[in-house]
Structure 1
Amino acid sequence: MKVEGVLVLDKPKDLSSTEAVEKIKRLLRVRKAGHGGTLDPFATGVLPICLGRATKIAQFILEGDKVYQGTFELGIITDTYDLTGEVVERRPVPELSAEEIQEVMQGFVGEIEQVPPPYSAAKYRGQPLYRWARKGVKVEKEPKRVEVLEFRVLAVELPRVEFEVYCSKGTYVRSLVHEVGLRLGCGATLVALRRLRKGPFTLEEALTLEEVERLQAEGRLEEKILSVEEALSFIPAITVSREMARRIRQGRPFSVSVLGSLVRLQKVARRPRVPWLRILSEDGDLVAVTYYPERFSGEGWAEMLRVFVS
């Protein structure tokens, strides 16, 4: 069986995202595979894995927003900002209410500048920061602009706080928790994290490794793997003629004004936080993915991000 598409995995604890992909590759005997957004080894939850031809759409999955639920513990600061690191400081925890903690967390909602944690996969001179940190080299990375759409308290049982966060790609939840602890004055470290959603993929459709193995043995796994078309169905679409589809696949330019005319004629609305547009042939085949421009006026060509050969 030729396996290709997107498998949504419920990644177990203490397994890196790369290790999870390698397990799936061996189990399904596929040569090409990649994940759609790194999860730390101690974190669990949604890890989309692109198989075969679907590796070509990983860029759209990587761009997707994320939703997490987790727990942090007040009064502790670690060098990794989570429970896997060494404790570098302990502080007394004041009698904080849920409202007081929420007020501090609310201060991080919106666009913020965030520096990657010292132990992370962010790279400096071609090597991840965690390798520099293990050598005792302190690297000051430039902050990145990320967006936190929601950050709320779910429950408080001091010194632990359960929370949920909805954020953009590139956001380090460990760093958010660390900063919350500093603002509260007592420090905090992340002790549990579970990803509920990555882009359009949710925990409800995710399979555990055990379920993948069982379904594979029963010959029923294929029905759980999303095709490339299904995996991109969250992107709004326009339909073009067979002739136009052929021209796009040949790499011929496609004007922004024509794109705009088709969007208006077919009444295709841009979805919030989804800056792309699928182009389908009149036979329903996926032809390409392009940017959904802010404006369709003026000269210029549509930028094709990915073209799919029939």
Structure 2
Amino acid sequence: MAAPVSGGLLPEGGPVLVTGGSGQVATSLERLGGPRIRRVGRPQLDFDRPDSIAETFRSVAPVAVVNAAAWTAVDAAENEPEGAARANRDAPEILARLCAEAGIPLIHISTDYVFDGDKGAPYTEADPTSPTGVYGRTKAEGEQAALAANPRTVVLRTSWVYSATGKNFVRTMINAGEKNPVLRVVGDQQGSPTSADDLAEAVLRIVALIERDGWKPDYAGIFHASGTGETTWHGLAVAALERAAHHGRTMPDVQAIRTADWPTPARRPADSRLDCDKLHRVFGVRLPEWRTSLDRTVDRLLSPAAS
């Protein structure tokens, strides 16, 4: 997955509106999707200005919408719940309502943070949500608002997204490894790292399938879409830095610490693994093993010619 092809991964057709500005997933969707992708962000589309959502929708006249925009500053959301709610709850509802009026599908990107991480096993779509902070709560509310407003809504929950561009954990670790001989990284939280390119390709394949076969009732609802396999933040850091070492970067000493040793305003899920079988069963899509995609991303990051 995630290998760009001539003309993009979508067949010819009308425009696909992608929110999220310069975010990781939106950028990957534009790079992989081809000329049909209309990527928008501030100031053209600003969730703090609800009128701009409808204005952008009308100007693009999309045949499908992918909402890859969100308030993702997890800790800041604790002190700014109204802003997080506007972006994560209210805006998806507006987009879904516009899609319903136009009779088109909405693919809405959500998060593993809708769970508290206490289950002790991978979460399925049937598990009740149990967010522990404002970010997770507003994202869970946004899921339900979008599903209620448009019967043709596909919610894709993902986790630990990274890419060769933008601000993300993998890039932070590689940059930190160049400056620090010792890194301390949380080792008691586990989940499934997800390449933004892999997630974007999954989205594009879903859009193409809907266009080819038409909308089916089974397509509506919540699906989990994360990289295959699992690790900890410490394990992800080590794997990224080991791959960077193949490009001549220094390998620091990466020490595992407890969550309690790195306190944050918002509580993170201790185990947010997602069961992604439903995505494969309904859409025939399964994201690659996380290590393979991580290596590809680090190679692209450190060897621009490889991209």
Normalising by structure 2, report the TM-score: 0.23
Normalising by structure 1, report the TM-score: 0.23
**Which is richer in helix?**
2
**Which is richer in strand?**
1
